[in-house]
Amino acid sequence: MFIITIIILMGSLNSIFAQTTDEFYKIFKDSNYSFSDIRNYKSYLENNSIDITNEQHIINGFKNNFNKDYLQSLIYKKQNNYKDEFSILFKHLNSWPEYLPYYDELVSAANASDNLNKIKSSIKNVSIKNEYYNYLSGLYFYENGNYNEAYKYFERTLNNINSPEVFYHLSYSQRSLGNYDKAFQFLQKGNDLLKTNDFLIPKFTIAKGSLFYLSGNNEKAKTFYARGLKQADSTGNTIEKIKALVNIGILHDDEGNVYMAREFFNEAIKLAVKINSIELTAFANSEMGVSFTLTHELIDAQKHYKISFDLYKKLNNKTRLAFLSNNLGNLKMNFADYNSALKYYNQGLNYSGENKRAQIQNLTGIAGVYQNLSDFTKAFEYYEKAEKLAVEIKDISLQTEVKLGIGSLFFNINNTKKALNIFKEAEVLISNGKHPFLKTDVYHKIGIAYLELDEYNLAEKYLNNSIDLSQSTGDILSKITATSDLAFLYLNQNKIDKAFAILNDIIPLTEDYLFYNLLGMQKIILGTIYLRNKQFDRAIQLFKEAEIIGEENYNSDLKIEANFQTAEIFKNLENNVEAEKYYLKAVNLIDAVSKNLTGNSEINISYFSNYKDVYDALTEFYLKQNKYKEAFLIIESSRSRNTMQNLSKIKLSSEAQNKDRLQKVYELEWMLNSEIYEKDEIDSLKNELQKAKNQMIGQNAFFKKYFDKNDKFSIDKIQSALKSDDNLVSIYVTEDYSQYFLITKDDFISDRINMKREDLLNLIYDISPYFNTQLDNEEIYYNQDLFSFNAGSSYNLYKYFFADIFSKIKNNESIIFNLPPELITLPLEFLVTEYQSSTSPYNYDNRKFLINEYAVSYTPSFGIYLEQKYQTLGNNNILLLGDPALQNSSKYFSLRRSLLDNDDVFTRLSTLYPLEFSREEVEEINDITNNTTLLLADDATETNFKLNVSDKNIIHLSTHTFQYKNQPLVVFSNTNDAQNDGILEAGEIVKLNINSSLIVLSSCRSGLGVIDKAEGIIGMQKAFYEAGAKSMIVSLWDVSDKYTSKFMIEFYKSLSGGKSKSEALRTAKIEFIKKYSSNPYYWSAFVLYGNEDPVELEPASLNYYFILLITACVIIIFIIYIYKRKN
């Protein structure tokens, strides 16, 4: 810690300059003066408390009109009369005075008096563009926040005027753009032009200190600020003295010495008021407000922010208004006034211009609002923008703040490991600096991440570090937050007395400081303690109080948790009516939040997975009461929500003629659902929303049905879409039992399966080592021997889990399965339906499999199944792609290698073997179909694929696919593609304009991906669904390209005969068993997801079959001829 004694600050203002008013009068009276004298007099006026009457007497004696008007403008400025200041300066512009400070004052006055448009007009219409024109243009663009343009003009000025002022402005242009190194170089060059005792010296010294501060080097900043303060005192530069005082105060604040900081701010405010500097009074008050915010003395903070904001408003100082808007937004966030906070942050963003630091702070603020309102997608968008800028300007503290925001977002959507990694990155960023307030926050967030991961010792360590640091800095909010989480940690460890004692100590403090969201969380923890002690009435009361706090503070997570916990109590008390009411309130709240999270799938999926337990609890609640239809609908609504939302959005987008208007409808719906607007604003939003909807309905009647909400998912709606031989089967698995639901055209059946999750998993593991999730199968190639299909175990799964379901379904009908995570990678077609224990489980000949009895397909949810009935292209165009040519030295492969992180993926790519039978596969399919586009070898590129997908009803890819770090990849030829790298990712897939009835991925593991407990498999099929595909055939394990080729040919023969996709796939599997192998390893990997209806497929022309017939006849005749010769 450094201390600069306040005694130095008390020097007499009247002795600052050698010249007195009388001496200036003598100098100017004789008209024997220079611009140097004018410069000195200007500094005297600006840096002192003056008698306007006396100074006016001096100025009135001037004979030179420009000098007289220029000095008069300084008097107007001192009187805060910016309008007259501008007028008296502006009339001299046409003569282009050869005095740089004139232009600084002109633009400053123009900005404060709202006359920048006149400067703009003058710049635009000028005929002579000299160095003063360039300087003025630079000042104009800088004032408007266009720092790149400003820099260009200041650089041009330097060609003719080698002045400290020009270098100073060049420095500030680069500083505002975040280029601190370059900014420092310009300051040094300007500094070198000044004499040792020039009163501008402290200005350059303090500006250098600020650059070190912005770069996170506080020690260097201290040195330069202290030096600048000393220089300002010795040269009589009160303006720079005030700046030095404020900057030193900021450093004290950063180090937690808030009371020392306030002494510096107070001294700066006194000096600024004494010399009547509005700008510096505003500056010092702004930083005093920040200081009070750090200790959460919010009323005092608001007072100083308001003083500062009003003063900067008078000056129209957009940069400072940008930072102050952020500060006021932060203040409103503390009061959970999100509407006002959002207005301030957006206002700050508008004021920011090109100032990246101001942009970052306001972008982070906006992200924080959306995060608190549970709109995590929008929050992430703003955090990403802020992070990119923070990295550009290399600002450590801002980078840390943004990382904490992003980490908190992932923590809130239940992606704790990712959150912890981000928090740890933030810890590294500030490890070498003195950032006690940031460190307090970092330690707290790392602590709660470890708490969530049940790493209790580490959690306790970091939470206590946060509490200790917050105690030493006076950071009340951080102290309360970390202490509350410490209580939750003790509750998790069943140290109830400890948790109870902490909460009783901290709750009064929380109430005193009006931290309502924290109070709500504390009441949840306290309610849980009473619940464990079986004091149900008190627990319910506390949960209801938490819900009210959540309602008043727009905290959805608080409301969800309070309602869920209340429902659980009423369920245990067997008060089913109240339990159902509170369960449904929690579910409806989750639905409302989830509905708005359509922009980012990862965030949407993670958020919903966090609350899957709420849906499961309600499902089991309904099942216990035999309310099977209600249970089914809750299960259905909890599966593949993100995919369903994205498909609905695609459907709406395809119908919308005006995409911007549709986006406006989404935004207005979010604004109304956020509940942060006042009544008059809500009425206005409703009117605007209705107007937008009416315009869309006027263009397309489809939207009336959507907007009227008549499209609600129901069992009746499912049944109306089914054919007479369709059977929908949904499975639900719990720790203690399982349940099935069977829906047909005319019936709904549900029954319990007496098998718990653990027993089901053991049955699955016994079928093949491949299905044992406890083994790391990702990098193992499973051939038929390693796959080692056990027919006896397959039969056991059929007999003990599925037999009752299939007993209710007639042979040769169609079954569409919606499976839970436990069964989702299992092709049920390979279930053995008859088995003699005396036979070998590894002998597959003459086995009866489920595929012999039914046509089988799958769907992520039945809502998606209905959505995929939506119309397709209706043509019979086919895209066939195969036999890609791979070259590992390709420039784009090398680039992708670096993007996909380390050598793992490159090694995988380099070992991809040629697909020997891929060409044969696609050529034979081409031979039996018409209207095909065939892409082989060097033509099988990613670019050609993208160019050819939009008008194809069937797309068949015979290539390599694999998972890399949970990311599905499709490999194309990379030898002849200048536009793409030959690797197609999920993010690229969803951007494709596909409206195909069927996509076939004839490749390894194309149906696998990350398995989310709510969303299901997140992989190729999800990506292609969202690109517009209506159905897909994918594989669930590594496949032999030789047998795959034969299998696919059988499939297309059946498909071209008019069979449904599921029946064609069934026929292909049965034919494959007869002709090639009954081993399920070879034929059961490929499964159908989505719409199973027939697809229009034009068979090859008769000429093709005629040629085949002639060829066959020739072969037969030749064989007969050979036979006869031998005999």
Are 730 and 708 within 8 A, CB to CB?
A: no
Using alpha carbons only, what angle is made at residue 425 by residues 419 and 431, rounded to the nearest 5 degrees? 135
Q: Do 684 and 779 fall within a single domain?
A: no
**pLDDT tens column, 645-699:** 776 666 666 667 777 787 788 778 777 776 667 778 888 888 888 888 888 888 8
Q: Do 879 and 913 fall within a single domain?
A: yes
Residue 505 CA to its chain's centroid (Å): 37
Please check whether residue 12 lies inside any domain of the structure.
no
- Of 855, 878, 902, the one marking the end of a domain is 855
- For position 910, what pLDDT does the model report? 46
Tell me, what amino acid is at 1095?
V
Long-range interactions of 28-31: CB distance < 8 A, separation 24+: 28/58, 28/61, 28/62, 29/61, 31/63, 31/64
Report residue 881: phi and psi, to 5°. -130, 130
Are 425 and 403 within 8 A, CB to CB?
A: yes
Q: Do 1029 and 930 fall within a single domain?
A: yes
How many whole angstroms separate alpha carbon 136 and alpha carbon 118? 12
**pLDDT tens column, 623-642:** 999 999 999 999 998 887 77
Q: Do 687 and 782 fall within a single domain?
A: no
Give the Cβ contact number of residue 821 at 10 Å: 17
* Residue with token string 């149906």: 1007
Please check whether residue 226 lies inside any domain of the structure.
no
Please check whether residue 182 lies inside any domain of the structure.
no
Reference 44, options 191, 193, 199, 196; nearest CA is: 199
* Residue with token string 């202290």: 226
Please check whether residue 86 lies inside any domain of the structure.
no
Q: Do 977 and 959 fall within a single domain?
A: yes
SS3 849: strand
- DSSP 8-class letter at 753: E
| Adjacent-strand bridge partners of 752 | 739
Q: Do 753 and 894 fall within a single domain?
A: no
How many whole angstroms separate alpha carbon 377 and alpha carbon 593? 11
> What's the Cα-to-Cα distance from 1089 to each of 242, 811, 873, 966, 1045, rounded to whole Å?
71, 21, 19, 20, 20
Which of the residues in the chain have pLDDT under 70?
A: 1-35, 433-434, 596-606, 608, 647-655, 674-676, 705, 708-711, 773-782, 870-874, 887-914, 963-967, 1099-1112, 1118, 1121, 1123-1127
CA dihedral 665, 671, 674, 675 (to 10 degrees): -120
SS3 405: helix
Q: What is the DSSP string of 314-352?
A: HHT-HHHHHHHHHHHHHHHHHTT-HHHHHHHHHHHHHHH
Please check whether residue 159 lies inside any domain of the structure.
no
- Residue 611 tokens read as 């609350």
SS3 1063: helix
Q: Do 997 and 1116 fall within a single domain?
A: no
- Of 822, 855, 888, the one marking the end of a domain is 855
Pairing of strands 954-958, 983-985: unpaired
How many whole angstroms separate alpha carbon 504 and alpha carbon 501? 5
Give the Cβ contact number of residue 753 at 10 Å: 19
Q: Do 1004 and 1029 fall within a single domain?
A: yes
Q: What is the DSSP string of 410-455?
A: HHHTT-HHHHHHHHHHHHHHTTTS--HHHHHHHHHHHHHHHHHTT-
How many whole angstroms separate alpha carbon 296 and alpha carbon 677? 25
- Residue 1109 tokens read as 């017939």
- Residue 561 tokens read as 């948790």
- Of 607, 626, 645, the one marking the end of a domain is 626
Domain of residue 450 covers 434-513
Reference 942, options 924, 926, 960, 930; nearest CA is: 960
Q: Do 983 and 1118 fall within a single domain?
A: no
Stated as kind and residue range, the H or E segment containing 191 is helix 180-192
Q: Do 885 and 743 fall within a single domain?
A: no
Pairing of strands 1086-1090, 1031-1035: antiparallel
Please check whether residue 384 lies inside any domain of the structure.
no
Give the Cβ contact number of residue 607 at 10 Å: 26
How many whole angstroms separate alpha carbon 250 and alpha carbon 265? 9
Pairing of strands 932-937, 738-743: unpaired
Stated as kind and residue range, the H or E segment containing 280 is helix 278-294
Report residue 1003: phi and psi, to 5°. -160, 175
Reference 791, options 835, 754, 750, 828; nearest CA is: 835
Q: Do 1028 and 1091 fall within a single domain?
A: yes
Q: Which residues, 6+ apart, have CB-to-CB distance to 371 below 8 Å?
A: 379, 405, 408, 409, 412
How many whole angstroms separate alpha carbon 856 and alpha carbon 865? 14
Are 606 and 410 within 8 A, CB to CB?
A: yes
> What's the Cα-to-Cα distance from 558 to each of 57, 243, 1085, 1105, rounded to whole Å?
68, 44, 45, 69
Q: Do 1067 and 1115 fall within a single domain?
A: no
Assign residue 937 the CATH number of its domain: 3.40.50
- Residue 586 tokens read as 């929690």
* Residue with token string 């942050």: 345
| Adjacent-strand bridge partners of 962 | 969
- DSSP 8-class letter at 1016: E
Report residue 160: phi and psi, to 5°. -120, -20
Number of domains in the chain: 6
- Residue 886 tokens read as 């791979």
Are 800 and 763 within 8 A, CB to CB?
A: yes
pTM: 0.71
SS3 758: helix
CA dihedral 955, 959, 960, 966 (to 10 degrees): -10
Pairing of strands 814-818, 855-858: parallel
How many whole angstroms separate alpha carbon 156 and alpha carbon 961? 56
Please check whether residue 116 lies inside any domain of the structure.
no
Characterise 755 by phi-psi region: left (phi > 0), alpha (psi -120 to 50), beta (else). beta
- Residue 718 tokens read as 């499912």
How many whole angstroms separate alpha carbon 945 and alpha carbon 880? 9
How many angstroms separate the most distant Cα atoms in the chain?
Answer: 140
Please check whether residue 463 lies inside any domain of the structure.
yes
